[in-house]
Structure 1
Amino acid sequence: MVSQLVKSLLVVFLAIFMAVVYEKLTLYTTPPPNIPLQWWGPGKEGKSDTSIKPFKINIPNEVITDLKQRLKMVQPFQPPLEGTASQYGFNTDYLNTVLEFWKNKYSWKDRLVYLNSVPQYMTEVAGLKIHFMHVKPATTKPGVTVLPLLLVHGWPGSQVEFNELIPLLTTPRAGESFVFEVIAPEIPGFGFSQGTDKPGLGTAQVAVIFAQLMDQLGFKTYFLQGGDWGSYISTMISQLYPERVRGLHLSMCDIRFNVNIMLRLLVGTIFPSLIVEKYEEPFMYPLGKYFSFLIEEMGYFHLQATKPDTIGVALRDSPIGLAAYILEKISIGTDRKFKQLVDGGLEKKFDVSRLLDNVMIYWVTNCITTSMRLYSEILTNQQKGLGLDNVAVLVPTSLARFPNELVLLPKSIVKLKFKNLIQITDMKEGGHFAAMDQPKSLADDVWSSTKLVLEKENVTYT
């Protein structure tokens, strides 16, 4: 017994020693690469039209007529297994409910008024048409500084993720001497942002495109906020252009599990207090349960990272199939316990019309395939060769940890990459789709973290 304990201790101390040496010598020491702005438009390189044009969503009637016809012609679904809710995927009994609502109650005409109520624009960057929302404060008092904030969405999201969040950021708050001006672009290949015809456009290249977009809009410095792919892209902008980023706010943390991190996590299985705070233990341990959940829920990731065009054909041909695929991801991302509910917990958290707004964006723009190709691009040798996984983030960073986020990391791990971590907020509720699920909590945290950044910059407050 004693001998076994000694062996365990030796293994732990050896792992700690190796982790420390590895960290000091190699971890997050790579300088940021120089990634040029390249041409992603069709054909040979040309000149982008960088003018800013107002944009309204306007879908041809024949597209909506075709959609309605497809919804009428849906084949009967295979019933769910007895005694199951959503453990096998999206429950088809509830899918029938969604289908009936979509056919008979959802009004695209009415929803279009809502979607177009947010100021939107179109411009070109690197040969691609980029669609973005740009919302300025309606009023500002003297002495109130307007701060540009770039919001970046993820998958399977779109511009509609931010419709409830944006007013909470652009409306001045009593006692604060700043307010936000929000720029929320859609990732190339998502929604109304043009997808590329060329391979190689990954999150790093999107970061370059969005940095160029902000430059074209006249913003030399700005704040960032992102979740899901938005966290990757925002983090990469911070790595590539730290002189432009005044503050980075994340609702999901982009850290790859390298050798050092795995060694730390293994040490934590024996001595968790060396790696995590007491309240953080449920994030990671037991480690087997943590990775089992990730493996169980990452099937879509593997499919989209290897065969996006194949699954894209099926999803493009069936609007209700597309809805099931997207809504299932929103369900499990919001709360993993929602598997136990027939409706996937969606009606606990969301208005069905808003959920279908997001599905409609994917359908009417035919972007499901181009959106999924982003998964393939991040796993290429070209992307890995950029070395961004090993580049430290030096800008002031804040992290909002929502308890049902798919990937939660302890502070000791986050600080390895994010060297200037100024705030971590542990939220009481919410998950992966924080901007839709918990817009007030997310907005409050963006405000508080920005205030902290400004205080560190010695900005005087009233």
Structure 2
Amino acid sequence: MATPSPTIKPYRIHVPDAALERVAAKLALATLPGETTFSDDPAYGAPLSDIRRLVGVWRGDGEGGEKFDWRKAEEELNESLPQFETKISVEGHEELKVHFVHKRSEVVGDGDGEGGNKKKGKKLVIPLLFVHGWPGSFLEVSKILPLLTSATTDDDAPSFHVVAPSLPNFGFSQRTSKPGFGLAQHAEVCHKLMLQLGYDKYVTQGGDWGSMITRIIGILYPSHVLGSHFNFLMVAPPTLLTAPILYLRHVLGLHSPADKAGLARSQHFRVTGSGYSALQGTKPHTPGFAVADSPVGILAWVYEKLRGWTDGYPWTDREVLVWIAVYVFSDAGPDASFRLYYETLQSAPRDDLLRRSRTWSGSVPIGYSAFAGEALLPPVEWAGLLGPVVFQSRHDKGGHFAAWEKPELLVGDLRKMFGKNGIGPKLPF
């Protein structure tokens, strides 16, 4: 393993007391919308009763008397997640502080092979880059981290060294200061982070923006990325020229019942659930004022997605508030995360890299796990329009936040794809 960069330093979350006091003061003065007979209809957005309850728990004056304790949550995150920070220079932009989680597999010592791996017996150990999206964060790696890095009794199943960065403008990474910080720049940050850690070759996993960023990493740095797994599929529909059989099947409606349901779900989402994307993708600064100033504003804005994009996941109030607090107390502020939508959507007509990310690229093997509750769910076989598919699965449970909702299923798929019965024997570890 190459020597890690000396700029890498341990990191512990510690939100200043002044920030906690400021949020408490704003919560004390919060004004909620007036009540109607349809205030809790999710078709209209975040239900009033849910937001009222969550605000009460956050303030500590709710019906049950429960109070959200950020300091306790902060300490638990510091104890359970090995966190670090480093400096990464981005071409055309500034040097950024990047926060990340990094945990090496339990089944290896100080490896001396390529990528820092050292086999213990017959065990295969692989560096894995996990990239979150919006409205996610590094928190999404929490449940899969111990599963991915643990020793398994199955010699055919690999273990992983896991790296999960906070993307710039998210979590405890730095705010960017120049326009044009889009998908290619995020890909550059993630790739350079892996190199700083000594992982010259690695595999990736992503959902939401993470799927697009890791896809672009594979396009830009194909000699380093040995395989990419997605649980969110962004792909251009088949055409008569690109995939005539798939195109004709699509035009004629010759899909499986599961794929028909996925297409219907996708259309419903585009019509009723994509307004946030239009706002963040056209005028991100305007809604940014609301969420930057109001903790209730970012709570309602994100809670709608947590509830609507999961497949009946039983969110606890504490889970929701920790998720939201990472946005409220982020180094860049919750508004900064919106800008990725603008930089991507506004550049789309002229961005050849974005077009390539949604069409065929045969350089990196692909794996895809479809979860039935995903907001956008194209036919599973369309994954083959992106590149050589080496693994594919369909789950009838789980939604957009697969690593949080169904961690065991996602980890199982990763172990199958990268194990000795998958592409593991072809990997140089």
TM range (shorter): 0.7 to 0.9
Give the alignment partner of residue 73 of structure 2, picking from 111, 115, 123: 111
How many Å separate the matches in 2 of 1:408 and 1:309? 29
Q: Which amino acid aligns with 1:369?
A: D
Q: Compared with structure 1, are the counterparts of its residues 113 and 382 closer, same or farther at alpha carbon in structure 2 (3 Å cutoff)?
A: same
Q: Compared with structure 1, are the counterparts of its residues 92 and 123 closer, same or farther at alpha carbon in structure 2 (3 Å cutoff)?
A: same
Q: Which residue of 2 aligns with 1:35?
A: none
Q: TM-score, normalised by structure 1?
A: 0.80
How many Å separate the matches in 2 of 1:198 and 1:264? 44
Moved more, 290-299 or 193-202: 290-299
CA contact (8 A) 2:138 2:164 kept: yes
C-alpha offsets along residues 238-266 of structure 1, whole Å, 9 cap, x if unaligned? 11112111111100012134765899888
Q: Which residue of 2 aligns with 1:169?
A: 148
C-alpha offsets along residues 378-404 of structure 1, whole Å, 9 cap, x if unaligned? 123488333442353321111110001
Q: Which residue of 2 aligns with 1:280?
A: 259
Structure possessing the higher relative contact order (Cα contacts under 8 Å, 6 or more residues apart):
1
Moved more, 160-169 or 84-93: 84-93
How many Å separate the matches in 1 of 2:246 and 2:50? 39
TM-fit CA distance, 1:70: 1.2
Q: Which amino acid aligns with 1:297?
A: G
Q: Compared with structure 1, are the counterparts of its residues 409 and 100 closer, same or farther at alpha carbon in structure 2 (3 Å cutoff)?
A: same
Matched, 1:327 2:308: no
Q: Which residue of 2 aligns with 1:155?
A: 134
Q: Which amino acid aligns with 1:301?
A: S
Partner SS for 2:393:
strand
Q: Which amino acid aligns with 1:122?
A: E
Give the alignment partner of residue 77 of structure 1, picking from 29, 33, 37: 33
How many Å separate the matches in 2 of 1:269 and 1:81? 42
Q: Which residue of 1 aligns with 2:87?
A: 124
Moved more, 142-151 or 325-334: 142-151
CA contact (8 A) 1:159 1:184 kept: yes
TM-fit CA distance, 1:65: 1.0
Give the alignment partner of residue 457 of structure 1, picking from 420, 423, 426: 426
TM-fit CA distance, 1:221: 0.5
Give the alignment partner of residue 380 of structure 1, picking from 346, 350, 356: 346
Matched, 1:393 2:361: yes
TM-fit CA distance, 1:412: 3.6
TM-fit CA distance, 1:98: 0.7
How many Å separate the matches in 1 of 2:275 and 2:155? 45
Greater fraction helix: 1
Percent identity between the aligned chains? 32
Give the alignment partner of residue 349 of structure 1, picking from 309, 314, 337: 314
CA contact (8 A) 1:222 1:246 kept: yes
Q: Compared with structure 1, are the counterparts of its residues 52 and 236 closer, same or farther at alpha carbon in structure 2 (3 Å cutoff)?
A: same
Q: Which residue of 1 aligns with 2:188?
A: 208
Number of paired residues?
A: 395
Q: TM-score, normalised by structure 2?
A: 0.86
How many Å separate the matches in 1 of 2:209 and 2:374? 14
Partner SS for 2:226:
strand
**Superposed, which structure 2 residues align to 1:165-244 within 5 Å?**
165-176=144-155, 178-244=158-224
How many Å separate the matches in 2 of 1:99 and 1:79? 16
C-alpha offsets along residues 126-173 of structure 1, whole Å, 9 cap, x if unaligned? 101111000112344832332110000000111111111111111111
Unpaired stretches in structure 2, ≥5 consecutive residues: 61-66, 90-94, 109-118
CA contact (8 A) 1:246 1:453 kept: no
TM-fit CA distance, 1:77: 2.7
TM-fit CA distance, 1:303: 0.2
How many Å separate the matches in 1 of 2:127 and 2:424? 17
C-alpha offsets along residues 315-350 of structure 1, whole Å, 9 cap, x if unaligned? 111101111111101111114xxxxxxxxx5xx522
Q: Which residue of 2 aligns with 1:445?
A: 413
Q: Which residue of 2 aligns with 1:298?
A: 274
Q: Which residue of 2 aligns with 1:308?
A: 284
How many Å separate the matches in 1 of 2:26 and 2:304? 21
**Superposed, which structure 2 residues align to 1:423-442 within 5 Å?**
423-442=391-410
Q: Compared with structure 1, are the counterparts of its residues 370 and 296 closer, same or farther at alpha carbon in structure 2 (3 Å cutoff)?
A: same
Moved more, 408-417 or 254-263: 254-263
Instruction: Please tell me the root mean square deviation across aligned C-alpha atoms, in Å.
Output: 2.5
Q: Which residue of 1 aligns with 2:44?
A: 88
Moved more, 75-84 or 168-177: 75-84
Q: Compared with structure 1, are the counterparts of its residues 375 and 76 closer, same or farther at alpha carbon in structure 2 (3 Å cutoff)?
A: closer
Partner SS for 1:430:
coil
Partner SS for 1:174:
coil
C-alpha offsets along residues 406-432 of structure 1, whole Å, 9 cap, x if unaligned? 1112134221222x1012111120100
Question: Runs ≥4 in structure 1, deviation > 6 angstroms?
Answer: 261-266
Give the alignment partner of residue 120 of structure 2, picking from 142, 146, 169: 142
Q: Compared with structure 1, are the counterparts of its residues 331 and 457 closer, same or farther at alpha carbon in structure 2 (3 Å cutoff)?
A: same
Q: Compared with structure 1, are the counterparts of its residues 309 and 264 closer, same or farther at alpha carbon in structure 2 (3 Å cutoff)?
A: farther
Q: Compared with structure 1, are the counterparts of its residues 91 and 84 closer, same or farther at alpha carbon in structure 2 (3 Å cutoff)?
A: closer
Give the alignment partner of residue 255 of structure 1, picking from 231, 235, 244: 235
TM-fit CA distance, 1:268: 4.3
Give the alignment partner of residue 245 of structure 1, picking from 200, 225, 228: 225
TM-fit CA distance, 1:184: 0.2
Q: Compared with structure 1, are the counterparts of its residues 334 and 97 closer, same or farther at alpha carbon in structure 2 (3 Å cutoff)?
A: same
Q: Which residue of 1 aligns with 2:386?
A: 417
Q: Compared with structure 1, are the counterparts of its residues 399 and 67 closer, same or farther at alpha carbon in structure 2 (3 Å cutoff)?
A: same
Q: Flag the structure with larger Rg.
A: 1
Q: Which residue of 1 aligns with 2:116?
A: none
How many Å separate the matches in 2 of 1:266 and 1:300? 30
Q: Which residue of 2 aligns with 1:271?
A: 252
